[in-house]
Amino acid sequence: MVHPCATKVLVIGYVWPEPRSSAASGHMMQILEVFLQQGWDITFSSPAGFGEQRADLTALGIREEPIELNNSSFDTFISELKPDIVLFDQFMMEEQFGWRVEKHCPDALRVLESSDLQSLRHSRHQRLKERLKASDDNNDFRKLFAPALREEFEHMADTDVAKREIASFYRCDLTLMVSEVEIELLVEQFGFARNLLHWCPLMVDLPDSPPVPFEERAHFLHIGNFRHAPNWDAVLWLKTAIWPLIREQLPGAQLHIYGAYTPPKATALHNPAQGFHIMNWAEDALQVMSAARVCMAPLRFGAGIKGKIVDAMLCGTPNVTTPVGAEAMHGEEAWPGAVVNTAREFADHAVRLHTDKARWQEAQTHGKTLLANRYRQSLHGPALIQKLKDCQENLANIRRDNFTGSMLRHHHHKSTQYMAQWIEAKNRHNEQPCGI
């Protein structure tokens, strides 16, 4: 039962969380769990429709409140709720609802859950497209995988999505970042204030039971939501370049590919004769990960940190990935598998892990150490709560010192307010019966 004086939190979600479908939703659920452990009073709202695999938040004691875009009903809703903290899930929700939150609950702490730096992901996607157009070499991507932070900045700085996203960060009192690399990019290249950012990676509890042993596992595995563009690109690279090289060395090898929202273009790749199996959605991702011998994450672009790799470590499953997949994941710790730049390297290391028990066990041990040192909820959960409390106590000073954010709120919120009110009036007019 929630205490009547408990901190009230309103989460405005881009989607209703589907933790079995995406790492972003998984991270949101981890944040909600940290709030629940504090006994906080949580309301989750979203303008999105209900997805197929959404979590049952009400079973956790979290209220669910659907909301509408460009509708003043939200004003009544938030005025009655009077939250102490408003958490925007992705910058688009701050763009849509930030002005309403500030107008009706000016004293509420405004926090943004970034999930990943979307402008970085979009920039990298564009560079991959340019690289694929310029060369038909589908093997070596080392130049694409190793840009300096300055180069990343130069590719991002003139894009609309970077300007929108980083402006949204400024308009909030705090932004949660899963990637230390992205924090450094924002601070060193964009000149963003470090105190407005908080490192909050994926937060997990370490498994109690030992992992499934080497002898009881079989096959290679790739897993990821097909609606997420980096995952679909990874499947294509597997199909066209990496998997044929693995089958040359292991003719009977099988690759099982799982993913939510499997499109026809993915099921068309299903080819049992080649050992290439499109398995659709996994009811229990950890179960299928525990049954696999090697997890493959051939990501050619992306941002943030990778939920599939954290899941692999939780299951004691070594992985092979790229520098994009490993970015911001391991700090100074040894990698639980291999990080490679080419399709040939990917295939060779995957085969070694699949066939060499000693190498496989060593990688598994690295994963266990990495989890314990970087991803424990018992470390990051309390740190998040303390940061939020510090921000609440110093809110006036934070907003005074963030003059850039104040300017951006002044101009953006006015224009967004007028546009939203115009859309709402237009919608009301369109709904009126003819002749009125």
Nearest alpha carbon to residue 231 among 270, 271, 266, 196: 266
The answer to whether position 133 is within a domain reads no
Cα distance between residue 436 and residue 433, in whole Å: 6
The answer to whether position 387 is within a domain reads yes
What CATH number is associated with residue 227?
3.40.50.2000
- In this structure, the answer to whether residues 337 and 389 fall within a common structural domain is no
Is the sign of the CA dihedral 365, 368, 372, 375 positive or negative?
Answer: positive
The answer to whether position 32 is within a domain reads yes
Each residue's pLDDT tens digit in the chain (436 positions)? 566 679 999 999 999 999 988 899 999 999 999 999 999 999 999 999 998 789 999 999 999 999 999 899 999 999 999 999 999 999 999 999 999 999 999 999 999 999 899 999 999 999 999 999 999 899 999 989 978 999 999 999 999 999 999 999 999 999 999 999 999 999 999 999 999 999 999 999 999 999 999 999 999 999 999 999 999 999 999 999 999 999 999 999 999 999 988 999 999 999 999 999 999 888 899 999 999 999 999 999 999 999 999 999 999 999 999 999 999 999 999 999 999 999 999 999 999 999 999 999 999 999 999 999 999 999 999 999 999 999 999 999 999 999 999 999 987 756 666 566 666 666 766 766 554 4
pLDDT at 426: 67
The answer to whether position 138 is within a domain reads no
The answer to whether position 144 is within a domain reads no
The answer to whether position 141 is within a domain reads no
- pLDDT tens for each residue of 350-377: 999 999 999 999 999 999 999 999 999 9
pTM reported for the whole predicted model: 0.93
Strands 197-199 and 220-223: unpaired
- In this structure, the answer to whether residues 96 and 43 fall within a common structural domain is yes
- In this structure, the answer to whether residues 233 and 352 fall within a common structural domain is yes
The answer to whether position 139 is within a domain reads no
Cα distance between residue 30 and residue 34, in whole Å: 6
Q: List the domain range (segments joined by +) for residue 342.
A: 214-375
Is the sign of the CA dihedral 408, 414, 417, 418 positive or negative?
Answer: negative
Q: Residue 190: CB partners within 8 Å, gap ≥ 6?
A: 153, 157, 166
Residues facing 66 on adjacent strands: 46
Q: Specify the number of domains making up the chain.
A: 2
- In this structure, the answer to whether residues 178 and 268 fall within a common structural domain is no
pLDDT at 339: 98
- In this structure, the answer to whether residues 324 and 419 fall within a common structural domain is no
**How would you write 162-197 as a 3-class SS string?**
HHHHHHHHHHCCEEEECCHHHHHHHHHHCCCCHHHE
- In this structure, the answer to whether residues 179 and 198 fall within a common structural domain is yes
- Both structure tokens of 7: 């901190």
- In this structure, the answer to whether residues 114 and 256 fall within a common structural domain is no
- pLDDT tens for each residue of 120-173: 999 999 999 999 999 989 999 998 997 899 999 999 999 999 999 999 999 999
Residues facing 234 on adjacent strands: none
- In this structure, the answer to whether residues 58 and 196 fall within a common structural domain is yes
- In this structure, the answer to whether residues 353 and 423 fall within a common structural domain is no
Laid out side by side, the sheet with 8-12 consists of 63-66, 41-46, 8-12, 85-89, 109-113, 174-177, 197-199
- In this structure, the answer to whether residues 162 and 182 fall within a common structural domain is yes
Domain C-terminal end among 359, 375, 391? 375
Domain C-terminal end among 375, 390, 407? 375
- In this structure, the answer to whether residues 384 and 331 fall within a common structural domain is no
- In this structure, the answer to whether residues 192 and 225 fall within a common structural domain is no
Report yes or no: 86 and 10 within 8 Å, Cβ to Cβ: yes
Domain C-terminal end among 375, 394, 418? 375
Buried b / exposed e over 382-402, threshold 16 CB at 10 Å, is eebbebbeebbeebeebeeeb
pLDDT at 146: 78
The answer to whether position 436 is within a domain reads no
Question: Widest CA span of the chain, in angstroms?
Answer: 80
